[in-house]
Amino acid sequence: MSRIGKLPIAIPAGVTITVGDEVTVVGPKGELKVPCLVNVTVKQDGDQLLVTRKDDEQVSRANHGLQRALLNNAVVGVTKGFEKKLEINGVGFRLSGGPQEIEMSLGFSHPVKYKAPAGITLTTNKMELTVSGIDKQAVGQVAAEIRSLKKPEPYKGKGIKYADEVILRKAGKAGK
């Protein structure tokens, strides 16, 4: 039995869940839809959501934990939301912008503009960028796309990195 899949999901007050071909989770921050996977059933039991699998096949076992994790992320997303913090390090690097679009100077000959998809908010604070939203996958994807614009390099650490990321530094050339 899947250790993650067998855990019940607690439904907090203010969250309504509708189970059908897809599970709709509505909360104070918004609404998310999670597709129902193959060989897995979802049922609501009072203030809990239970995920069970139909058989012991490989696909069923894989989908069991995945379905539970997706539903839990949806419940947490509509109640608390998700956020990722990015830091920009480098001489001459700049960050400016509003909630949907940012402009960065990253050492290129042109400024780099990034427009966030719907449901994602970008907050700037000096050289820090916070990506927030209710969909965990979308928040992680946007953060990864922004980081890929200028990955941190190992010699001086210049670039865009996650706030909790540790950059392994290299020594560089040994002089005579």
Q: Which of 37, 42, 47, 39 minimizes the C-alpha distance to 12?
A: 47
Examine the fold and report which residue of 79, 107, 127 is the final residue of a domain before the chain moves on. 79
Do the bridges between strand 9-10 and strand 112-115 make them parallel or antiparallel, or are there none, so unpaired? unpaired
Residue 1 lies in a domain: no
On whether both 99 and 132 belong to a single domain, the answer is: yes
Same domain, 108 and 142: yes
CATH number of the domain where residue 113 is located: 3.90.930.12
C-alpha closest to that of 87 among 136, 40, 126, 144: 126
- Same domain for 72 and 117: no
Same-domain status, 69 and 88: no
Residue 167 lies in a domain: no
Number of folded domains that form the chain = 2
- CA distance linking residue 79 with residue 136, whole number of Å: 12
pTM for this model (two decimals)? 0.90
Let me know whether 94 and 60 are in one domain. Answer: no
Give 120's contacts (C-beta < 8 A, 6+ positions apart): 131, 132, 133, 138, 139, 142
Are 123 and 137 contained in the same domain? Answer: yes
CB atoms within 10 A of CB 47: 12
Phi, then psi, of 69 in degrees rounded to 5: -65, -40
Domain of 46 in residue numbering reads as: 9-79
Same domain, 73 and 109: no
Do 20 and 47 have their domain in common?
Answer: yes
Residue 173 lies in a domain: no
CA distance 104 to 117: 17
Q: What is the pLDDT of residue 1?
A: 64
Name the more confident of 172 and 42.
42
- The pLDDT tens digits for 104-140 are 999 999 999 999 999 999 999 999 999 999 999 999 9
List pLDDT tens digits, range 43-93. 999 899 999 999 999 999 999 999 999 999 999 999 999 999 999 999 999
